[in-house]
Amino acid sequence: MSYGIQLLIILLFSLVMFGVLNFLAISLSQNNFKRRIVAGFLFLLLTPIIFLTTTALTSIFDKGGLGVANLVFVILNLYIVNGIVILLSASFILKKHNIR
């Protein structure tokens, strides 16, 4: 199997992992403000673990490091932005409950 296909498999695996974690964070927090805040912070705290695993898996195939850096940068930005969006959505939940 070529290196490009293996890197694509790693990218797809990390995107599936992102989707599963996002689904769990949203579905388990439901409409609870405190749970949504905890889910957002957990997403932000998971970024070093995601960084290390993605770097370790992709560095096997790219010894130069530039491809690894680009792939890890894209994936980490996705996780960080998602954590911030989850934190912001908690403030919308709080506003929605204060209106009623």
* Cβ–Cβ under 8 Å, residues 82 and 22: yes
Q: State the Cα–Cα distance between residues 7 and 31, nearest whole angstrom.
A: 37
Q: What's the alpha-carbon Rg for the chain, to the nearest Å? A: 16
Cβ–Cβ under 8 Å, residues 3 and 62 = yes
- pTM to 2 decimals? 0.77
Domain that holds residue 87: 3-99
Number of domains in the chain: 1
**Cα distance between residue 7 and residue 88, in whole Å:** 32
Whether residue 48 is predicted with pLDDT greater than 60 in this model: the reply is yes
Comparison of pLDDT for 61 and 28, the residue scoring more: 28
pLDDT averaged over every residue in the chain? 84
